[in-house]
Amino acid sequence: MESEEKKFIQLPEPKKDSATALEEALYARRSIRHYNDAPLTLSHISQLMWAAQGITHGRGFRTSPSAGALYPLEIYAVVGNAEQLDAGIYHYQPKSHQFNQVKAGDHRKALFSAGLSQSAIRNAPVSIVITGVFERTTGKYGKRGVQYVFMEAGHAAQNLLLQAASLKLGAVPIGAFDNQAVIRLMHLSESETPLYILPVGRPK
């Protein structure tokens, strides 16, 4: 990730329990593409980031499994409407549970265009973008590592979707988008490949 300016935002401490059982979240999870105009809270966003790639062990292990504990995924939030957080593109830092602001401003319309004009991206207050740095894993596992990175992206996305369901939020995983347009918008490094766009909001 190539950043214009280093501006860090500390996220609220994620909760480790809730009133929602895992079975309830599994049962409630649906692909939700329509959202109302209410913003997400900073606590919502913090919890979603932690669910996808949060640290859960002193040795750096995370919420989703990773082949060789190599952690090739990077997590971003494209924020348009949130409480206590300005519109912008943010890069999640798992070790410190912080955001690094990549770009200021509301870039949902540009992400909507890069996402082949799928309305969920335009209407969601926040979209989560998961990218993969394949060489972190292929350096150890060779070509097989490519498969491992895709598997890991699925783990992280499902964690995020179940967390959204637990928070009574709606979300949808999107895999159809223009890779190069996302790379330009997000200021991704040459080694990063966008894998998922996950719009999240309050169901309409």
φ, ψ (nearest 5 deg) of residue 44:
-55, -50
Q: What is the pLDDT of residues 66-123, one digit of tens each?
A: 999 999 999 999 999 999 999 999 999 999 999 999 999 999 999 999 999 999 999 9
Q: What is the pLDDT of residues 9-44, one digit of tens each?
A: 999 999 999 999 999 999 999 999 999 999 999 999
User: Does the residue 40 lie in any domain?
Assistant: yes
Instruction: Give 103-108's long-range contacts (Cβ < 8 A, gap of 24+).
Output: 103/4, 103/187, 106/79, 106/80, 107/78, 107/80, 107/185, 108/78, 108/80
Query: How does residue 3 score in pLDDT terms, banded at 50, 70 and 90?
Result: very low
User: Does the residue 27 lie in any domain?
Assistant: no
Q: How far is CA 105 from CA 99, 122, 204, in A?
A: 15, 14, 25
User: For residue 59, is pLDDT > 70?
Assistant: yes
Task: Render 143-180 in DSSP notation, one character per residue.
Answer: THHHHHHHHHHHHHHHHHHHHHHHTT-EE--B--S-HH
Look up the domain containing 188 and give its range: 36-201
Structure token pair of residue 55: 């640290």
Smallest CA-to-CA distance from 81 within 102, 109, 113 is with: 109
Tell me how many domains the chain contains.
1
User: Does the residue 86 lie in any domain?
Assistant: yes
User: Does the residue 10 lie in any domain?
Assistant: no
**Mean pLDDT value across residues 137-164:** 98
Smallest CA-to-CA distance from 187 within 94, 137, 114, 125 is with: 114
Q: Which CATH number fits the domain that encloses residue 184?
A: 3.40.109.10
Average pLDDT score over the chain: 96
Cα–Cα distance for residue pair 79/86, rounded to 1 Å: 8
User: Does the residue 190 lie in any domain?
Assistant: yes
pLDDT of 5: 53
**Percent of the chain scoring above 70 in pLDDT:** 97
The answer to whether 82 and 125 have CB atoms below 8 angstroms apart is yes
Cα–Cα distance for residue pair 58/13, rounded to 1 Å: 16
User: Does the residue 20 lie in any domain?
Assistant: no
Q: What is the pLDDT of residues 192-204, one digit of tens each?
A: 999 999 999 999 9
Cα–Cα distance for residue pair 17/54, rounded to 1 Å: 14
Residue 32 neighbours by CB under 8 Å, 6+ apart: 170, 171, 172, 201, 203
